[in-house]
Each structure stands twice: as C-alpha cells, then as structure tokens.
C-alpha cells in the first residue's frame, strides 16, 4: 500500500519553507512556458486599462494623480510576485473610493498611507489564520447590498458633476416631477461628459 500524497498547502497550515518551495516552483513554471509574446501583450493590455484607472481613482479619492501610479505599481508587483494564483486579477477597488476620500479629507495623504500599512498588516494576519474560509457564512444579499449602496453613492457624487450643477442625485430624484431644475443644467457639461 502506497502512502497518499499530501493535499495542497494552504496559508497558515504549512511551514514557511514549504510555502517558499511551492512559490519558487510556481514561478519556475512561468519561465519554462513558451508564451513570452502572449505574456508581454497581456501586460500591455492590462497596463492600458490600469494606468488611467489608477490615476482616475486617485483623483476621485482627493489624492494627487501620482499616488495612483505608485499604488498601482506597488500593488501590481506585490500581487504578481506573491499572489495566490497565476491567473489572479488585481487592481484598485472603485467601491472604496468614497471611504478613501473621506479619510483623505480628515487625515490627509499621510493618514491614507498609514491606514494602508495597517490594513496590509491586518490582511497578512487574516491570510495566516486562513480567515478567508469564513466568507461562505456571509449572505450573498449582504454583498449585493454593499455593492448597490456604493453604486448609489458614486451616482450621487457623479451625476451633479455630469450635469454641471450643485444638486445631489437624491435631490434630483425628489424634484423629478418639477422640471425647473433643468434650467440650471449646464448643457455643455452634458455634451462633454460622455467624451471625457
């Protein structure tokens, strides 16, 4: 009777040496494959999307555009080198920009950087304790509600910018039957909004 082979090593269950050996073996597979041209094209495609997105999200969060480039570069490198899967997709989370904006207003860019370090440490602790398995206990309706709420908050911030006046989205919804607010719309902003 042959002994059974051990299952895959999950974070927090194996030794650091085992995790390091698995990591180096997975990277060795990347360099052995003959798809270098496809990998380079995929990298340019991701960069074409990620660079403007990182800049835009930094501006929306009230930070200088260069912080989006720095965060995207560091995040992409760390996720690429230490990520859990070869085909893992990483990038900025647009859903969190409202919270980051509020944090930026209250504590400034230095506070945002400190918060990022604390959040990174918390994520490392969660990874070591394999806390990700607890997500199966979170109802799907809760996740859908969070996403919907963030979408409505983004609409509340962006619709007035798009229309070129100071009313919030929910104020427009309340005034929809009284079209006097249409006189305050900047039609130049409406025409130029979809272009930019």
The tens place of each residue's pLDDT in the chain, 196 residues long, gives 444 444 454 554 557 788 778 778 777 776 676 677 887 888 888 888 888 888 888 887 788 889 888 988 888 888 777 766 666 667 666 667 777 778 888 888 888 889 888 988 998 898 888 888 888 888 889 888 888 887 777 777 777 777 777 777 667 777 777 777 777 777 777 777 665 5
Buried b (16+ CB within 10 A) or exposed e, 97-126: bbebbebbeeeeeeebeeeeeeeeeeeeee
Q: How many residues does the chain have?
A: 196
Q: 94 with 57: CB under 8 angstroms?
A: yes
Please report, for the chain, the start and end positions of each structural domain, with discontinuous segments joined by +.
14-135, 138-196
Using CA of residue 102, residue 108, residue 111, residue 116, what is the dihedral sign? positive
Q: Would you state the pLDDT for residue 195? A: 59
Q: Would you state the pLDDT for residue 86? A: 62
**Helix 65-82 vs helix 36-60: angle between axes, to the nearest 10 degrees?**
140
Q: Would you state the pLDDT for residue 122? A: 93
Q: Would you state the pLDDT for residue 121? A: 92
**Helix 140-163 vs helix 97-128: angle between axes, to the nearest 10 degrees?**
150
Q: Would you state the pLDDT for residue 84? A: 63
């Amino acid at each position: 009777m042959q002994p059974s082979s051990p299952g895959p090593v999950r974070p927090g269950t194996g030794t650091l040496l085992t995790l390091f050996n698995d990591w180096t073996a997975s990277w060795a597979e990347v360099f052995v494959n003959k798809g270098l041209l496809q990998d380079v094209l995929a990298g340019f495609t991701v960069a074409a999307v990620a660079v403007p997105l990182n800049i835009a999200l930094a501006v929306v969060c009230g930070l200088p555009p260069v912080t989006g480039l720095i965060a995207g570069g560091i995040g992409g490198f760390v996720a690429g080198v230490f990520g859990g899967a070869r085909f893992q997709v990483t990038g900025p989370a647009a859903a969190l920009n409202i919270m980051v904006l509020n944090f930026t207003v209250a504590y400034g860019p230095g506070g945002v950087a400190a918060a990022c370090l604390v959040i990174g440490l918390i994520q490392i602790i969660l990874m070591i304790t394999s806390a990700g398995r607890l997500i199966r206990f979170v109802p799907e309706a809760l996740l859908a509600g969070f996403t919907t709420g963030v979408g409505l908050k983004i609409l509340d911030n962006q619709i007035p910018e798009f229309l070129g006046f100071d009313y919030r989205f929910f104020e427009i919804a309340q005034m929809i039957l009284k079209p006097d607010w249409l006189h305050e719309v900047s039609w130049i902003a409406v025409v130029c909004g979809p272009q930019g």
